[in-house]
Each structure stands twice: as C-alpha cells, then as structure tokens.
Amino acid sequence: MNEPSFEHDILPLFRPEDIEEMSFAFDLSSYDDVREHAELIHDRLAEGSMPCDGSWREEDVERFRRWIEAEMPR
C-alpha cells in the first residue's frame, strides 16, 4: 500500500466548511498547520468530535493515521 500524501490523500478530506470552521485554531488547508497539529487533529477525528457535523469514515481516519506514521509526506 502506498503511503498517503498531504496534497493527494489528506487535503481533499477537509471540506471548505471544515477549513472555515477550524480557522480560529489552525488552517486545515495548510500542510504546515496540519503537520504541526496532526496528533490533535487525529485525536479529534478518531473520537468523532471533528468535523463538528459528523464523524469521518473509519477508513479516512485510518488514512490520516497512516499519513502521520509515514512521517507526513507532502
């Protein structure tokens, strides 16, 4: 299985409304911001408190985790 990249696999998971909703804390469209806050974002995704209008599919949460474990390639 190929390791996920931010541009191809992670960024498309964040909808415009997610990016806007979280802009007070960090920019989900920014590789640097997502990388800096990756563990916090993953924790929120895994517990289902992010995004605020419903949980991600389990395979998307797992993809985010694989991205972290692959050292967050761009």
Domain ranges across the chain = 6-69
d(CA 59, CA 53): 18
The one-letter amino acid at 51: P
- Report the pLDDT value the prediction gives residue 25, as an integer from 0 to 100: 95
pTM: 0.94
d(CA 50, CA 21): 10
- Report the pLDDT value the prediction gives residue 2, as an integer from 0 to 100: 84
Q: Encoding tokens for residue 45?
A: 């995704």
The one-letter amino acid at 13: L
Whether the per-residue pLDDT at 1 is higher than 90: the answer is: no
The one-letter amino acid at 48: G
Whether the per-residue pLDDT at 49 is higher than 80: the answer is: yes
45 neighbors 61 (Cβ within 8 angstroms): yes
